Amino acid sequence: MESLDGKGPITMELVARRWLVPGILELRLGRPADFTFLPGQFLRFVMDGYQRDYTMVSAPDAETLDFCIAMVEDGRFSGDILKADIQDSVQLSGPHGYFIFQGPANPAVFVATGTGVAPFVAFCRCGMGAALLLHGVATPGRLIYQDLLQSACRGYVPCISQPSENDDGLKNAFPGRVTHYLEQQLTPGTYDFYLCGRGAMIRDVTALIDQQFSDSRLFIETYD
Ligand SMILES: Cc1cc2nc3c(=O)[nH]c(=O)nc-3n(C[C@H](O)[C@H](O)[C@H](O)COP(=O)(O)OP(=O)(O)OC[C@H]3O[C@@H](n4cnc5c(N)ncnc54)[C@H](O)[C@@H]3O)c2cc1C
């Protein structure tokens, strides 16, 4: 039984797949008629015996539902999705989630690590990029959607945790983790922080916000 109300499985077709950068795939699914979602929401891939969640990077009115997917060593979904063929069917449930833009109450700061940038890509594609975006990655080779984020966000700062001398040409880059940028560079004030990525970053940034920006609002999406 097909369902578009977020409760049951939906069948979609894999229509395209490409490498955004080594180790990060972009996957495109054909969008069923009448499927609606809010930027920042995710779909749950219902695989044979397990499930994985992935945030849509496409705008809600796009023809396809797009995802950026980090390949994880020995990852179950990572391996299975590499083996899938174009035109294969996948089962999903959703849309799920509440990590959506809450409006401009305070200046917004988006903080992502890795593919945690996905909801912010969707925000930017819908005119909700009036924010400072910090994108934390190990090396510049892991940055994705740079042109879009640079043009749509009020500020865009790649935070490179393992910088090298060859990174010199990278515009506005900060040599260090997102936590260090917030600690050292963000003007004291009251913000709406949106954090998305692995739990360790969420934990560290939340502690920092409690110490330095305690009147701020905080919205989080944890990827593990
Ligand atoms: C709401 C939500 C939205 C998400 N959206 C996205 C998204 O848009 N893009 C995306 O890439 N992921 C996203 N994730 C994470 C994703 O669902 C998977 O957990 C993850 O990508 C690994 O799946 P896997 O089956 O390939 O690996 P698994 O078999 O689950 O993991 C294998 C091993 O790798 C470790 N591991 C898992 N992920 C990582 C990682 N990123 N870095 C290092 N080690 C890891 C695991 O702890 C485990 O030890 C999201 C998670 C949630 C909860």
pLDDT number for residue 139: 95
CA 51 – ligand 1 centroid, Å: 11
Give yes or no for a contact between 122 and 153, defined as CB atoms under 8 angstroms apart.
Answer: no
Residue nearest to atom 10 of ligand 1 (CA): 69
State the 10-residue block means of pLDDT for the chain, 224 residues long: 57 97 98 94 96 97 97 96 95 96 94 98 95 97 96 97 81 94 97 97 98 96 95
Quick check: CB of 69 below 6 Å from ligand 1?
Answer: yes
Give the position of tokens 């109300």: 5
Residue in this structure with the two tokens 């990278």, named with its chain if needed: 170
Is 113 in a helix, a strand, or coil?
Answer: strand
Q: What is the pLDDT at residue 3?
A: 43
Q: Report residue 155: phi and psi, to 5°.
A: -145, 145
Ligand 1 and 138: CB distance under 6 A:
no
- Which two three-digit tokens encode residue 75? 């990852």
**Which residues are CB-contacts of 61 (< 8 A; sequence separation ≥ 6)?**
none
Angle between helices 178-185 and 199-212 (to 10 degrees): 10
pLDDT of residue 169: 73
Strands 42-46 and 89-96: antiparallel
Q: Please tell me the predicted confidence (pLDDT) of residue 179.
A: 98
pLDDT of amino acid 167: 75
Pairing of strands 108-113, 192-197: parallel
Using CA atoms, how far apart are residues 196 and 120, in angstroms rounded to an integer? Answer: 9
Ligand 1, atom 35, residue with closest C-alpha: 72
Q: How far is the CA of 223 from the centre of ligand 1 (A)?
A: 6
Q: How far is the CA of 84 from the centre of ligand 1 (A)?
A: 18
- Domains of the chain (ranges plus CATH)? 10-96 (2.40.30.10), 108-222 (3.40.50.80)
d(CA 187, CA 116): 24
CB 189 within 8 A of CB 213: yes
| 55 pocket-lining for ligand 1 (C-beta < 6 Å) | yes
Q: What is the pTM of this model?
A: 0.95
Give the chain's length: 224
